[in-house]
Amino acid sequence: MNLNLYDEFWFKVKIQSAKGVYGVECQIVYPPDILEAVLEEDGTVKTQMGTFLSQNNSLAMLNARLEDDKPGKIIIGLNKLGEATESAGAGSLFDVLFRCVGVGQGDIRFAQSHIYDAAIKAKPSQWTAVSVQVTGINIVSVDIVPRSIVRREIGVTLQA
Among 11, 15, 18, 23, binds other proteins (CB under 8 A): 23
Pairwise CA distance, residues 106 & 134, whole Å: 9
Q: Which among 108, 110, 96 is positioned nearest to 8, based on CA atoms?
A: 96
| Contact between 76 and other proteins per CB under 8 A | yes
Shortest CA distance to 48 belongs to which of 81, 78, 89, 6? 78
**Least spacing, CB of residue 17 vs other proteins, in Å:** 19
Question: Where does this chain touch other proteins (CB under 8 A) — which range of 7-15, 64-72, 132-140, 143-151?
Answer: 64-72
Dihedral in degrees, nearest 10, Cα atoms 91, 10, 27, 127:
50
Q: Which of 29, 78, 100, 134: binder of other proteins (CB under 8 A)?
A: 78
Q: Does 129 interact with other proteins (rule: CB under 8 A)?
A: no
> Which residue of 122, 137, 149, 150 would you call a contact of other proteins, by CB under 8 A?
122
Which residues lie near other proteins (CB under 8 A)? 22-27, 44, 61, 63-69, 74-83, 112, 114, 116, 120-122
